Structure 1
Amino acid sequence: MCHCIKLGYLRRSSCGPLAGCAVGRPWQWQPAGADKAQMPQFQRSSVRIKNPTRVEEIICGLIKGGAAKLQIITDFDMTLSRFSYRGKRCPTCHNVIDNCKLVTDDCRRKLLQLKEQYYAIEVDPVLTVEEKYPHMVEWYTKSHGLLVEQGIPKAKLKEIVAESDVMLKEGYENFFDKLQQHSIPVFIFSAGIGDVLEEVIRQAGVYHPNVKVVSNFMDFDENGVLKGFKGELIHVFNKHDGALKNTDYFSQLKDNSNIILLGDSQGDLRMADGVANVEHILKIGYLNDRVEELLEKYMDAYDIVLVKDESLEVANAILQKVL
């Protein structure tokens, strides 16, 4: 059984940069001066933390490093984007294409059948990542093949995204804008469709110059019609391999040794594997589905678990103190 507490506040003493940071629970934050900037976001019912002492140490390390040492590594689907809104499931990047009017009913039916078959495998709490791996390759390969058959034109992507029900999590403007203001590198590592992802954040007005996207990008022919996907397939359980392929990117950020990682799956935990010099890493995981089955496993893996949380408030609260 998992034993966890809900964090309330952090305390920071005015005696030096971080004196008195580790003060027990509930946490309080006491900046220099008389006023206390509280962090009520940690009192949200969605917040679960198995090892509060460890989280306290990591956050203190992030604060010490400040903006100069920070970088963000994050998943997109169901992490930056919403899992649901008002009781209705929100689409992933793949779903945005699957559900668009350019896809035939027959193709949509086949895509749904694939999802019903393989999603259960993806979230199965018993199967290992190694056991799930080949099934994810099959799912993505078959789905991408069906989409290619539809002959989707590149010129329609903007309209497809605009007409979709995809939504970013509450607080996304604050998240992206603050990171841009402080020139914090943001690495979005997605097993979705990169063209859709980029269009989503572009239309939301948050595709800033500090954001780098690594994902499955569409390949179009000379007429602008989808003919395949570029490069090696990225799926939810091979992000370790993808991270290692981006060591050039991470090597340019050798001084950014503090990481906030956000994800919603076990595979997302490997997104920082390409970073050679990690000093502090805070792993925040969104648990969106099958909570009773997966909560203990997520709490063992992530420092902070957010259960059915459709906001970026916890991440924003931490950034407010670090930056």
Structure 2
Amino acid sequence: MRPMTSPLLLSPSPCRLLRRLFSRAPRRRNPTTPRPLAPHLGRRLPLRLPASMSSSSVGTPDSVVADADALARKVAAIRAAGPAKLQVIADFDGTLTRYWYDGSRGQSSHGLLRQGNEEFDSKREALFEHYHPIEINPDIPVLEKAKLMEEWWGKTHGLLIEGGLTQEAIKKSVADAAIAFRDGVVELFEFLEARDIPVLVFSAGLADIIEEVFRQKLHRSFKNIKIVSNRMVFNEEGCLVAFKGKTIHVLNKNEHSLDMAAPVHDSLGDPNGSIDDYSLVKKRTNVLLLGDHIGDLGMSDGLNYENRIAAGFLNTNIEKSLKDYSGAFDIVYLNDASMRGVVELVSDLCP
């Protein structure tokens, strides 16, 4: 859906983030600063902007902004509107969570699941091997691909039910998983919670697993966070028997799916504890979107936003993908960066 237009507002004084962006030229990261690296990389990559990128591009050791003027205008407009108009939309895997874990590729919330039944785990892996190439094939029309993704998710969910997935298996899977949140995620959530800014975490995975990751890895809850994902139904014995509502897959995880949302905490900051009406969220027409794939930009579909700042995490294949990412996102955080750059950004949006 096309964004609503609004007049651009200029801040009387530049925010800290933009002062830093305008004052720094691209340079190498301090070699003493640790950086998660892929096992096959033998060296740290300096920040090298593609030759075709605008000469006005600016960067920091951990991030790149291709159009600082456009970002400055968006920051000023969101600051002027105030936190009551802002919402945060975030992908989960590879965005809130780290891409690398102890030197290896971290697990996704879906990939970490073990049913406790090797036969059905193998069947789900076979489905991945068949459908994942379809998912990433750019030559397949979107409508055709959407039907195939619906088919993939349906078969996977059927195997989880047939294989007897239990709540205990989910807890054990998360406890044994190679998954961790980015440094700075707690600070970001605390900052947003203190200002009653809702956070919608969109995922094509499983809400019950993501909530368990929150419980085990963060050891606390946040009343302003909702998980928009596929939700399971368990019987009294703790066995999976069904899934709620429509299926959310990689091509439809956006604000059209808010009917699937459920809070990590019991409420979304509503003093009456009511979370049935999402019209208040939809009236927040300024958006900070966090994702690690260009396709994550579609998470704001279904919202008539006035201003959107899209922050992307480019975790690997930096030199190959930087041009595309910097053209799609307002700011790109590089090399599996921490969440602290986003914390700085939101503190500029809501001083």
TM bucket by the smaller chain?
Answer: 0.7 to 0.9
Residue aligning to 1:27? 22
Q: Secondary structure at the match of 1:94?
A: coil
Runs (5+) with no aligned partner, structure 2 = 1-9, 25-57, 262-275
Partner letter of residue 274 of structure 1?
A: G
- Do the aligned partners of 2:233 and 2:242 also contact (CA within 8 Å) in 1? yes
Q: Secondary structure at the match of 1:93?
A: coil
- Do the aligned partners of 1:75 and 1:264 also contact (CA within 8 Å) in 2? yes
Is it true that 1:260 corresponds to 2:288 in the alignment? yes
Residue aligning to 1:272? 300
Q: TM-score, length-normalised on structure 2?
A: 0.72
- Do the aligned partners of 2:248 and 2:257 also contact (CA within 8 Å) in 1? no
Relative to structure 2, which stretch is displaced further, 263-272 or 178-187?
A: 263-272
May I ask how many residue pairs the two structures share in their alignment?
A: 291
Residue aligning to 1:4? none
C-alpha distance in structure 2 between counterparts of 1:51 and 1:78, whole Å: 24
Residue aligning to 2:239? 225
Relative to structure 2, which stretch is displaced further, 174-183 or 107-116?
A: 107-116
Change (3 A) 1:210 1:45: same
Aligned equivalent of 2:100, options 65, 84, 89: 84
Runs (5+) with no aligned partner, structure 1 = 1-16, 30-41
1:73-152 → structure 2 map (5 Å cutoff): 73-97=89-113, 100=114, 102-124=115-137, 127=140, 129-152=142-165
1:5-20 → structure 2 map (5 Å cutoff): 18-20=11-13
State the 1:295 CA deviation. Answer: 4.0
Aligned equivalent of 2:256, options 217, 238, 242: 242
Change (3 A) 1:272 1:164: same
CA RMSD, 1 decimal: 3.0
C-alpha distance after superposition, 1:142-172 (max 9, x if no partner): 2222222221222443333223222111111
Q: Secondary structure at the match of 2:226?
A: strand
1:169-318 → structure 2 map (5 Å cutoff): 169-203=182-216, 204-240=218-254, 242-243=256-257, 249-253=277-281, 256-276=284-304, 278-289=305-316, 291=318, 294-318=321-345
- Do the aligned partners of 1:244 and 1:273 also contact (CA within 8 Å) in 2? no
C-alpha distance in structure 1 between counterparts of 2:128 and 2:240, whole Å: 21
State the 1:136 CA deviation. Answer: 2.1
State the 1:28 CA deviation. Answer: 5.5
C-alpha distance after superposition, 1:197-237 (max 9, x if no partner): 11111231342111111110112234321123211110111
Is it true that 1:53 corresponds to 2:91 in the alignment? no
Q: TM-score, length-normalised on structure 1?
A: 0.78
Is it true that 1:153 corresponds to 2:166 in the alignment? yes
State the 1:255 CA deviation. Answer: 5.1
Identity %: 35
C-alpha distance in structure 2 between counterparts of 1:288 and 1:27, whole Å: 24
C-alpha distance in structure 2 between counterparts of 1:205 and 1:193, whole Å: 19
